[in-house]
């Protein structure tokens, strides 16, 4: 069982959203939007993986984790008609 069940879990692996934003290389507003929507666009996945490796080592989020979450999110979105803006 993975420790990342949602994109919020990925973001919360950092001590703060501010730390996440700084290490991933995006604005705090962007991280707040990701958290609000529980969604992260794939274009940011490699940045997140690299930043997570630097901070968390063996406990880092992987590209597989993010792809699995994206697939789950897409499935939920298509069944509910919800759109993602982040």
pLDDT score recorded for residue 76: 73
Tokens, residue 81: 């008609």
pLDDT score recorded for residue 82: 55
Cα torsion angle, 17, 42, 52, 3, sign: positive
Tokens, residue 29: 């507003």
pLDDT score recorded for residue 5: 95
Cα torsion angle, 5, 8, 85, 48, sign: negative
pLDDT score recorded for residue 70: 94
pLDDT tens digit at each of 86 positions of the chain? 468 999 999 999 999 999 999 999 999 999 999 999 999 999 999 999 999 999 999 899 999 999 999 998 887 767 666 555 55
- Domain positions in the chain: 7-79
């Amino acid at each position: 069982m993975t420790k990342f069940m949602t994109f919020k879990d990925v973001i919360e692996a950092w001590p703060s959203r501010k730390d996440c934003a700084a290490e991933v290389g995006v604005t705090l507003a962007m991280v707040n939007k990701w958290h609000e929507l529980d969604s992260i666009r794939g274009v940011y996945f490699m940045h997140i993986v690299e930043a997570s490796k630097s901070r968390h080592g063996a406990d880092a989020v992987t590209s597989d984790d993010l792809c699995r979450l994206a697939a789950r999110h897409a499935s939920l979105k298509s069944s509910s008609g919800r759109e993602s803006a982040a």
